[in-house]
Structure 1
Amino acid sequence: MNGETGTPARVRLTFADDASFIVDSTVTATATVLDAEERPVKGTTVNWTAEQGQLDSSTTSTDADGTTQTRWTLGPKTTGSDAQSLTASIEGATDVATSQAVDVNPGPVTSIFVQANRDTIAVDSSATLSIDRLEDANGNRIQNLSQYTFTWNSLTPDTATVTSGDPSTSAQVQGVGHGAAQVTVSTGGAPKAGLAAIQSASGAAADTIEIEVLEHELRGVWLTTTDSNVLNSRANIEEAMDFLAEHNFNTVFPVVWNNAATTYPSTIMDTLIGRPIKPEFGGRDPLQEVVEEAHERGIAVIPWFEFGFAASFSADGGPIIEEKPSWAAKDKDGNLLTKQGFEWMNAYKPAVRDFMMALILEVIRNYDVDGVQGDDRLPASPVEGGYSEFTKQLYRQEHDGQDPPSNESDSEWMQWRADKLNAFGQRVYDEVKAVDEDLVVSWSPSVWRFSFREFLQDWPAWINQGFTDLMHPQVYRRDVGAYKETLNAQGPSRVGWDEDAIIGFYPGVLLKVGGFVATPENIKTMVRANRKRGYMGEVFFFYEGLREFDADVAEALKRTHYRDPAPLPFKRASRH
């Protein structure tokens, strides 16, 4: 330009068309100074100021084309609007200036922040991982996550597997083995094509997430009405659930049926004998209180039908046999069947079976429980029984008119009665599962072979015939050596039950009975014996033993085997 030009009237500020505005990157800015007639003005001093970042030159002079340049290294932080501003002004002319804001993008991804909906999972359960945010080296948050492709990988496939979601901003981690699972996630370049040259490196960022995969364990305790006040008030129940949760127990077995009475308002018992609940619980519903307080703390509730087919204890049959004398079981002398102080109903009579089944269904239909439990009296009947006229006639029908053997220990006669009890166990299982397939069926018989010899409980068949979820033989031994010896005698190789046919085998362990209270050392040794044999849990008889001597047993367990919470070995009932 050789013509005369006038006084600078305005400044035009531009950047190259292909400029990439990324934090900490450098761009060239061009200022063109024009007079009032849009002619370039030579030799004009331009002052540069940047809101963020650094300038190579803060003062430059225009050339013959009226242009001048400076290099601007953008600041490290994006603002709330992702914009930074550059201003070019004419020295000596305060009213001639221009500013331009540019959208500034974060730098390459250097940090991936992941959220997990759980930091611990169990074997066979899962957690969801999701990308929370991406940041560059300066902590700038990167938007548009859905435009990135993320790659998930398990570094510990024997502990957990990982499956990418669609989109890949999430993934599922599945526990397969006990231990610390490590999962990595990485991403490549930025989503905007204009940034690809700078942010194109594959695996530009990676993060490792750790999730603890816990071993399933059943840590249970029976809640009784004998020598215990835990069910006597809601306050007691609440305090007990707090205590158990604090000590990492995860299952309670509250008694719901004993001595011709229930611990919940029962329409069936009201109809039968005019007594809907144990008198001391009148006006309350202890079972509902246990369910609410336990579930609030993540503890499963499996009601325990303690008396099973026993009608009463030291009461000559009690109100049930008084009301229904035909329900009485008989020994071979025709007397009311009595063993160890318990008086028994006839477990082979359909009306008695229907009554017992109705109680079980009443509980699972009316309460949000996790399963049901029978014990050494359900399904069971003393070997001395089976001599009521009804049962003898049933035997005759199936044996060409022959009478049952007078020897109650005759092997065929024992097995015939045991098979009838097994059939009731199968019925319980089928009818419970028909209400909710996730309800668990738990049995706690006497130890083998005592269970069969004395009470016709053929519990290995209960497992092998497929109507058992949880098995808890009552390995009630005060001495550690006797406990280990008895425990060994219950094993699958000794007794012949199928380990794959049940959810788990969790022995019953004696904590307290009468004046006896187990020592912390003995209990720890018994639990260690269970784990050594692959039995991942136990059920303690009974709750009050955990509170003796300043809760020394519970505290000892929490310091050792129960140090961390453990996931349940079964799925909670679907109604939760």
Structure 2
Amino acid sequence: MKSPFIAQSWRRLFKSLFPILILISFITVLLLDSFAPAIAEGWGFGAIAQLPRQEIRGVWMTTNDFDTLKDREKVQDAVSQLRRLNFNTIYPVVWNSGYVMYPSAIAQRAGIQPFIYKGSDGHDILADLINQAHRKGLLVIPWFEFGFMAPPTSELALNYPDWFTQKRDGSQTSNSAAGEVMWLNPFLPQVQQFITNLVLETVSQYDADGIQFDDHTSLPYEFGYDKYTVALYTKETKNAPPRDAQDAVWVKWRADKITAFMVQLNQAVKQRKPQAIFSVSPNYHDFAYKFHLQDWLTWMRQNIVDELIVQVYRPDMQSFVANISRPEIQEAQKIIPTGIGIMAGLRNNPVPMQQIKSQVRAAQERGLGVTFFYYESLWNDSLESLNERQVGFGSLFPSPALRARVE
């Protein structure tokens, strides 16, 4: 039996230590939360799966940004500024207009001359951006902007005309934001192999954190009436493709073929670099599926999408909010990092800072990240002064949210 004196002493000691014990417990919880990625990795859990809540704060770097990208000092300033404003991800274009933006043995063997990849002092632009961004703790995910799309004047279209598909009337072009374009046949084995080779070359040749495919890794519903695809559809279904390009069975068959290719592409990327982020930045699903045969919701449900950024370029707030509130976006954000693509402006169509702030706030209120199109329009060709824009963007992310890199 304890003496009253001993019991009283223990009570006094516990009472004096109680605040310290509470503080230790609180710090322990914080440390465990901070080291969760490393712990999960050590226990063998998937790197992407255990980081579903990372907030995306990104910006695309397009061909319009090459004045910055080709100059090491400008890249250093850009990366430093993005880090200071608490961005965490850069998506530089590496595939545009049928050309790659880096020295590519694959493109060279295909007889496609480099478009732009050398910097002002002859350096590799992509390698320099990745190195400088990683020093500041930012992720870099190269972006295959043009997907299956290429201009009719490109060497790709001129050298490989049989790689391109057509509409029912035999025409091969459509109009896009990039002008008149042709579409590589996503069902053709040679095309699938070419795109796969370029993607694997990118993730192998560079210390990139992943790879991104946007709304052009698809096919407008009017296309698919080339000889190869018609023969394949007829063989598999015992029917010729319907005259109606939007026939539900015909749409689904083509969409499923693109899905099958994306599954294979994901497997190839993961085999080459298991921790690479397989990022997708499409339009909202109803539009993507019906008009571009891009069934990205199925891709996500088949666990081949590690990160989703849905492009919602709407000046009207009511339309913007309606599109970012869609059920497929809510479904995505439960399992993977999910963000909204926001228009920061175009050279001939500036976007006011107030609109950008309102859209970012609406996304953040729904637990969504954001990525801006595109870097130069963050500051230039805007309605406000450079200082006003930078102050405005500085208010969007008041605290850091760096994303964990997995080596």
| TM-score using structure 2 length | 0.83
CA deviation map 1:291-338 (0-9, x unaligned): 1111111111000001111122xxx25211221121011111122242
Partner of 1:375 in structure 2? 214
Partner of 1:161 in structure 2? 29
Q: Contact 1:475–1:509 at 8 Å: present in 2 too?
A: yes
Q: Contact 1:507–1:539 at 8 Å: present in 2 too?
A: yes
Q: Contact 1:263–1:281 at 8 Å: present in 2 too?
A: no
Q: Contact 2:83–2:138 at 8 Å: present in 1 too?
A: yes
Partner of 1:6 in structure 2? none
CA deviation map 1:517-565 (0-9, x unaligned): 2222222211111122121x11100011221331534422323x31111
Counterpart Cα distance in 1 of 2:270 and 2:387 = 37
Indicate the SS of the match to 2:90: strand
Q: How many residues align?
A: 365
Coordinate RMSD, CA, aligned: 2.5
Partner of 1:289 in structure 2? 128
Partner of 1:482 in structure 2? 319
Partner of 1:5 in structure 2? none
Q: Contact 1:225–1:231 at 8 Å: present in 2 too?
A: no
Counterpart Cα distance in 2 of 1:176 and 1:477 = 39
Counterpart Cα distance in 2 of 1:386 and 1:281 = 39
2:260 to 411, 423, 427: 423
Q: Does 1:303 align with 2:142?
A: yes
Q: Does 1:408 align with 2:228?
A: no
Partner of 2:226 in structure 1? 388
Indicate the SS of the match to 2:68: coil
Q: Does 1:352 align with 2:191?
A: yes
Partner AA of 1:161 in structure 2:
V
Counterpart Cα distance in 2 of 1:221 and 1:492 = 20
Q: Does 1:231 align with 2:231?
A: no
Counterpart Cα distance in 1 of 2:105 and 2:283 = 31
Counterpart Cα distance in 1 of 2:268 and 2:387 = 39
* Equivalence map 1:59-458=2 (5 Å): 154-156=24-26, 161=29, 173-175=32-34, 216-226=54-64, 229-278=67-116, 283-312=122-151, 316-340=152-176, 341-378=180-217, 380-400=218-238, 402-458=239-295
Counterpart Cα distance in 2 of 1:473 and 1:278 = 28
Partner AA of 1:547 in structure 2:
W
Q: Contact 2:64–2:376 at 8 Å: present in 1 too?
A: no
1:541 to 361, 364, 373: 373
Partner of 2:45 in structure 1? none
CA deviation map 1:477-531 (0-9, x unaligned): 12322211221236446xxx4544x421101011012322222222221111112
Partner AA of 1:534 in structure 2:
G
Partner of 1:463 in structure 2? 300
Counterpart Cα distance in 2 of 1:338 and 1:393 = 23
Q: 1:499–1:280: structure 2 CA closer, same or farther, 3 Å change rule?
A: closer
Partner of 1:508 in structure 2? 341
Shift, 1:218, TM fit: 1.4
Indicate the SS of the match to 1:335: coil
Counterpart Cα distance in 1 of 2:100 and 2:259 = 24
Partner AA of 2:397 in structure 1:
Y
Q: 1:471–1:367: structure 2 CA closer, same or farther, 3 Å change rule?
A: same
CA deviation map 1:25-63 (0-9, x unaligned): xxxxxxxxxxxxxxxxxxxxxxxxxxxxxxxxxxxxxxx
Q: Contact 1:418–1:458 at 8 Å: present in 2 too?
A: yes
- Higher normalized strand content (fraction of residues): 1
Shift, 1:151, TM fit: 7.8
Q: Contact 2:173–2:183 at 8 Å: present in 1 too?
A: yes
Q: Does 1:564 align with 2:399?
A: yes
Counterpart Cα distance in 2 of 1:161 and 1:544 = 41
Counterpart Cα distance in 2 of 1:490 and 1:383 = 24
- Higher normalized helix content (fraction of residues): 2
| TM-score using structure 1 length | 0.60
Indicate the SS of the match to 2:222: coil
Indicate the SS of the match to 1:249: coil
Q: 1:421–1:339: structure 2 CA closer, same or farther, 3 Å change rule?
A: farther
Counterpart Cα distance in 2 of 1:175 and 1:364 = 28
Shift, 1:173, TM fit: 3.2
Q: Which moved more, 1:252-261 or 1:223-232?
A: 223-232
Percent identity between the two aligned chains: 32
Counterpart Cα distance in 1 of 2:333 and 2:244 = 34
Q: 1:364–1:551: structure 2 CA closer, same or farther, 3 Å change rule?
A: farther
Shift, 1:410, TM fit: 0.5
Gaps of 5+ in 1: 1-149, 163-171, 178-214
Partner AA of 1:556 in structure 2:
G
Gaps of 5+ in 2: 1-19, 37-52
Q: Which moved more, 1:337-346 or 1:264-273?
A: 337-346
